[in-house]
Amino acid sequence: MAGGVERMATAMMNEMVKRGFKVGLLTWDEKNAEAHYDLAPQIEWMQLDMGHPDKAAGWRLRLRRQIRIRSLIKNFKPDVTIAFQVGAFIATKTALLGTKIPIIAAERNSPDLFDHIQHGKRLRRRSNLFLATSDCITVQLESYRMKYPAFLRKRIVSIPNPVWQPLKSPHINSQAAPKQLILSMGRLSYQKNQTFLLRAFALIANKNPDWTLALVGDGEAASELRKLADELKLTDQVIFAGSVKNVSDWYEKSAFLAFPSLWEGFPNALVEALSHGIPAIGLQSTSGVNELLQDGYNGLLVTSTEAAFADAMQRMIVSPDMLQDMGKMAIESVKNYEASHIFDRWQKLFTDLAKRPK
């Protein structure tokens, strides 16, 4: 599927293959599955092909899966295993009980996510107990370390996502070719908060009939969001683009990014927009976003109200000079996340764990 975790995992695997590592990928996919992102042919893709992703698995199927996972991983004989997100970590850890294979729990969200989901307190406690059995926990921003209980902090390593430089020169909102497109990039879901965004855009759409909001991505909220756009009479000013592979095309034709996520890990869409010279609007309360965006420098941070977000979009729309200045600063703000440097840190972590006495 398309998504930030899948994209990052694919990029990491492809890079490690280039660096001479033997890489295996274990997923719950069916045998005939195809990868949304291009996988290096040297990667050994092990598809579990047991059960259907849309149907809850019973205990018998779960046990069979665990036995199969254990067999596949042991046959591959990895020096290190990395599990993306806590659910995959729990499945991997329990399948490998009794082995001495180091396991990295790669957290892809801020722990703030538990503040937004049902039974969050209980799930947070359970997640932390399982993470205590990992050999290492990776988080995407150093500020997240203190959001974990003290007994986990020593095993946490902070590694942000890489940011690749655009193939084309960033347009930095050139006044010679003004853009009239507001971009929303991400999975159509509760987390990404597009319902909030549509309602905020509705407050200013009539004043800006030449401007369009593009929702690039797909997800479980797609039909709900289309219905809402119709109810708000926005169908002529909203584009539902679906999942795309060449995201750069959308950055290049957009004036700014609207990014009202409720929680994030290391928001790929945000940093990619910034690398293209596209300023962004985010929420002050969203961890990660409020660290990568600096209000008035490379974008705007606002309170979590539709009116405040609408006002920020209007400021962007009527201020081409501000957009251009913020676009220049946006490029500077993400230069510390150059891809080769980030992958050097991953390689060091892998080799350090592989050398650790079993």
Residue type for position 201: F
Residue by residue, DSSP assigns 303-341 as -SSHHHHHHHHHHHHT-HHHHHHHHHHHHHHTGGGBHHH
Residues of the chain with CATH 3.40.50.2000: 4-162+338-355, 181-336
* Fold topology of 181-336: Rossmann fold (3.40.50)
Tell me the CA distances in angstroms from 220 to 125, 224, 306, one per residue in order.
27, 8, 22
Cα separation of 134 and 137, whole Å? 7
Q: Which tens digit of pLDDT belongs to each residue from 236-259?
A: 999 999 988 788 889 989 999 999
Cα separation of 358 and 353, whole Å? 9
H helix or E strand, kind and range, residue 69: helix 59-76
Helices then strands, counting H and E runs in the chain, come out as 13, 12
Shortest CA distance to 187 belongs to which of 112, 242, 266? 242
**pLDDT value, residue 178:** 65
**pLDDT value, residue 126:** 94
Cα separation of 279 and 275, whole Å? 9
Cα separation of 145 and 141, whole Å? 8
Q: Which tens digit of pLDDT belongs to each residue from 65-100?
A: 999 999 999 999 999 999 999 989 999 999 999 999
Residue 274 has pLDDT above 60, yes or no: yes
45 Cβ contact partners less than 8 Å away, ≥ 6 residues apart: 24, 25, 27, 35, 39
Pairing, β 238-242 against β 256-259: unpaired
The alpha-helical segments, DSSP class H, found in the chain are 4-18, 59-76, 86-95, 120-131, 150-153, 194-202, 222-231, 248-252, 268-275, 289-292, 306-317, 320-333, 339-355
Residue 39 has pLDDT above 70, yes or no: yes
Residue 328 has pLDDT above 70, yes or no: yes
**pLDDT value, residue 244:** 86
Q: What is the CATH number that goes with domain 4-162+338-355?
A: 3.40.50.2000
**pLDDT value, residue 165:** 80
